[in-house]
Structure 1
Amino acid sequence: MADEPGSIDDSQPRAGAPGAGGNLPSVLAVLDAQRAFYEAFESRSMEAMDAAWEHSGDVVCTHPGWQTLVGWPAVRDSWASLLANSEHLQFIVTDEYVTVRGDMAYVRVQENILAAGAMQGSLTALNIFGRQGDGSWRMLAHHGSPVMLG
C-alpha cells in the first residue's frame, strides 16, 4: 500500500509502506484496536480503556505536558483521573499511518480534538500495540504531543 494518510473513519485505511508489507489483516486488526482506544476515551469508559491496554509493567503513556508514566497501575490511574475529570471530547483522527512488524505495530496519527463541537486543538500521537497470545492487539504505549501552529 502507498504511504498515504488515511482516517479512522476511512473505509480504506492506509498502511505506511515501511514494515507494513502486504499484511492487511494485521493492519486492519491494529486499526480496530486503535479505534477501540479512541472510543473508550470519547465515551469516558474505564472498562473499555482497561480492555484497550495490555496490563503489564512494561506499558508507558505520555499525556501532553506530563511525565512519562510506566507500568499499568500508573497508566491506569492516569486514565481513570482523565476520564472522570474531563468534559466530553470528540477525536477526529487523521494522517493515520500503520506499520506492523511481527507482533508489534505502531500507528502515528494526528488527533484533532473537539469539545462541545468546537475545535480545541491538535495533537500528534504515537500508539504502539502488541499482539497478545489470543491474537488480539493491545496498546503498549501512547505518546501525545501538542502541535504548535504558526
Structure 2
Amino acid sequence: MSRTDIELVEEANTAFYEAMERGDFETLSGLWLDDDISCVHPGWPVLSGRGEVLRSYALIMANTEYIQFFLTDVKISLTTDTALVTCTENILSGGPAEESGELGPLMGQLVVATNVFHRTPDGWKLWSHHGSPVLTENGEDDQPEEESPG
C-alpha cells in the first residue's frame, strides 16, 4: 500500500523536529530545499537563503544542550506541490548548569509554527519555517502561572 501525500508530508515534518532533537545538522540540512528558503525563529528577523537559514540552525544546535518537541494541533493542508503544516511546538529545553557541567533546569515554551513544504523529485522539502511565541494576556511568553490561594 502506498503512502498518501499527507502521510509523506507528516513524515517530513516529523523528521525536521527529530533532527533538531538529535542535533543532526546533516539530516536537517537535507530536509530543506536547495535555494530560496526562509525561516523566522521566535524573536528573530526573517532569515533568507540556504546559507543564513542553515547557519541559524547550526548556532541553535551548538548552543542547546537538550531540546525536545511535543507537537500538538498539527494540521496539514495540501495543494498539488505545496503543503502547509501548522502546529504548536511544546518545547522542553535546557543547557548545562554553569558549575557542574551537567544538564541544568529545563525550560518550557509554547511556539506556534507554520512549515511550508514543496514536493521535489527527492520528496517533500522544507521551503519555509515560521515560529512565533504564544503570548498570554499580560504579553509574556505562555508559562503556567501559580494559582493564588483561595
- Answer whether TM exceeds 0.5 for this pair: yes
1:42-61 matches, cutoff 5 A = 42-56=21-35, 58-61=36-39
Structure 2 unmatched runs, 5+: 95-104, 138-150
SS at match of 1:77: helix
TM-score (norm 1): 0.79
- Do 1:63 and 1:145's aligned partners in 2 also have CA atoms closer than 8 Å? yes
Specify the alignment match of 2:141 in structure 1. none
For the pair 1:122 / 2:110, whether they are aligned, the reply is: yes
Q: Which has the larger radius of gyration?
A: 2
Shift of 1:133: 2.1
Normalised by the length of structure 2, the TM-score is 0.79
- Residue of structure 2 equivalent to 1:132: 120
**What is the aligned counterpart of 1:109 among 66, 76, 87?**
87
How far is 1:149 from its partner? 2.5
Contact 2:64–2:93 under 8 Å retained in 1: no
For 1:20-99, list aligned pairs within 5 A: 25-56=4-35, 58-99=36-77
- Say how many residue pairs are matched: 125
**CA distance in structure 2 between the partners assigned to 1:115 and 1:144 by the alignment:** 16
Q: Secondary structure at the match of 1:35?
A: helix
> Helix, strand or coil: the match of 1:27?
helix
Verify the 8 A CA contact 1:112 1:119 in the aligned structure 2: no
Structure 1 residue aligned with 2:101: none
Q: Note the residue ranges of structure 1 that are not aligned, 5 or more in a row.
A: 1-23
Deviation at 1:48, TM superposition (A): 1.2
| Percentage identity across paired residues of the two chains | 38
Whether the 8 Å contact between 2:42 and 2:132 is mirrored in structure 1 is: yes
1:142 to 106, 122, 129: 129
What RMSD in Å do the two structures reach over aligned CA positions?
A: 1.5
